[in-house]
């Protein structure tokens, strides 16, 4: 696939300086060096308080700093806005950016509620000249892209079943303090919105649209300590689901933020009529392939023969990393702005992911139908 790169520098505003804000900053500073084209103009960085924004503007290489996100979004020197803020701010910031005529790079989850995501997708559809992309960076892994191509080429025959798990332990300690992430009003969904949506994005890219889910969720640690005393946890610590795809294939899904010892176990298997593919993000530079009749699985290491790897390194087995996925995501965004292929998940595809995780949250052990909704995933 050809990715034309912009020859005129794009002006960038970045809102947020946490983990994902730094990832965006690194990607903006690296994308042209890796893939060519004009280097972006890092115009304005926004965070609160102002002295924090000023310190990170210097560290990240932005020309200016502000503590007013509305002025950053409206800035006439800005063409594209990176939004890496807490979940509750996603909708107002993204909508303001679209109304200001900007392209939008928004971290997942798309919004707090399904109604918010639907409104955002409608607004994006009303601004067809502006590119939107959501931060599902695991879709950019060369190993994952190779898996998509292997399935598409028929390497394992017809996909019949999917088994996926995304486990982490960042909330496993019951002594960890209460935070906004544990509330519906500011955090939205819990494990489903934070990590489960990543698994859904990969599941749909590999297997196609979801027709039905039957799910259970659990709050494993009902209260968390705070200076005011114990406070309730409102959203789920874990979720389990059975999945039926529009193709007729079946699947299982599990996500947990309280799985002791798991750091980034985004693991899946696709069972086909003629073979099996296996991947685990904790070993993200390996893809395992079994073809019927062979003696066992074959390990495929990431290397320059896989999509986008060679732009970073010419030698196989030298490993790919988390931040490199984000650089590819930035490449896809700026290429789409320059008239290249549509990038995704855009807000329309992101809404499809939101529908799946919100159906899981609402299921309560009962089947929820999704067939008839649009679940196309542009990876």
Give the pTM: 0.95
pLDDT digits (tens, 9 = 90+) for 97-108: 999 999 999 999
Beta bridge partners of 163: 252, 269
Could you give the CA distance from residue 205 to residue 332 in angstroms, rounded to a whole number?
A: 16
pLDDT digits (tens, 9 = 90+) for 126-159: 999 999 999 999 999 999 999 999 999 999 999 9
From residue 59, alpha-carbon distances to 10, 49, 52, 53, 217 in Å are 20, 16, 11, 10, 41
Indicate the pLDDT class of residue 372, thresholds 50, 70 and 90. Answer: low
Could you give the CA distance from residue 194 to residue 217 in angstroms, rounded to a whole number?
A: 14
The predicted pLDDT at position 378 comes to 33
Indicate the pLDDT class of residue 2, thresholds 50, 70 and 90. Answer: confident
Domains and CATH numbers, the chain: 11-137 (3.40.50.720), 142-283+285-319+346-369 (3.30.360.10)
pLDDT digits (tens, 9 = 90+) for 150-201: 999 999 999 999 999 999 999 999 999 999 999 999 999 999 999 999 999 9
pLDDT digits (tens, 9 = 90+) for 279-330: 999 999 999 999 999 999 999 999 999 889 999 999 999 999 999 999 999 9
| 63: pLDDT strictly greater than 70 | yes
Could you give the CA distance from residue 346 to residue 106 in angstroms, rounded to a whole number?
A: 9
Q: Give Dmax (Cα) for the chain.
A: 63
């Amino acid at each position: 696939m050809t990715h034309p790169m912009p020859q005129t520098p794009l002006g960038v505003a970045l809102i947020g300086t946490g983990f994902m804000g730094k990832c965006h900053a690194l990607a903006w500073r690296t994308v042209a060096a890796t893939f060519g084209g004009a280097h972006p103009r890092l115009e304005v960085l926004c965070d609160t308080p102002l002295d924090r924004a000023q310190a990170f503007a210097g560290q990240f290489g932005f020309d200016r700093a502000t503590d007013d996100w509305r002025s950053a979004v409206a800035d006439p020197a800005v063409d594209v806005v990176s939004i890496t803020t807490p979940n509750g701010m996603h909708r107002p910031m993204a909508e303001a950016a679209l109304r200001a005529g900007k392209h939008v790079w928004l971290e997942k989850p798309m919004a707090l509620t399904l109604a918010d995501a639907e409104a955002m997708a409608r607004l994006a559809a009303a601004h067809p000249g502006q590119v939107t992309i959501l931060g599902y960076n695991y879709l950019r892994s060369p190993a994952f892209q190779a898996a998509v191509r292997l399935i598409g080429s028929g390497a394992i025959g017809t996909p019949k079943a999917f088994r996926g798990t995304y486990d982490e332990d960042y909330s496993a300690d019951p002594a960890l303090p209460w935070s906004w992430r544990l509330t519906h009003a500011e955090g939205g969904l819990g494990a489903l919105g934070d990590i489960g949506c990543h698994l859904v994005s990969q599941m749909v890219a590999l297997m196609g649209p979801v027709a039905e889910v039957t799910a259970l969720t659990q709050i494993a640690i009902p209260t968390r300590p705070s200076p005011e005393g114990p406070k309730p946890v409102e959203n789920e610590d874990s979720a389990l689901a059975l999945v039926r795809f529009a193709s007729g294939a079946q699947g299982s899904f599990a996500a947990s933020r309280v799985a002791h010892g798991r750091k980034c176990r985004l693991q899946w298997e696709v069972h086909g009529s003629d073979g099996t593919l296996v991947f685990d993000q904790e070993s993200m530079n390996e893809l395992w392939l079994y073809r019927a009749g062979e003696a066992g699985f074959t390990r495929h290491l990431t290397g320059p023969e896989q999509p986008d790897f060679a732009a970073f390194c010419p030698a196989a087995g030298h490993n790919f990393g988390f931040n490199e996925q984000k650089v590819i995501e930035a490449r896809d965004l700026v290429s789409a702005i320059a008239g290249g292929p549509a990038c995704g998940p855009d807000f329309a595809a992101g809404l499809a992911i939101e529908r799946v995780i919100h159906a899981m949250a609402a299921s309560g052990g009962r089947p929820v139908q999704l067939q008839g909704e649009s679940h196309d995933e542009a990876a």
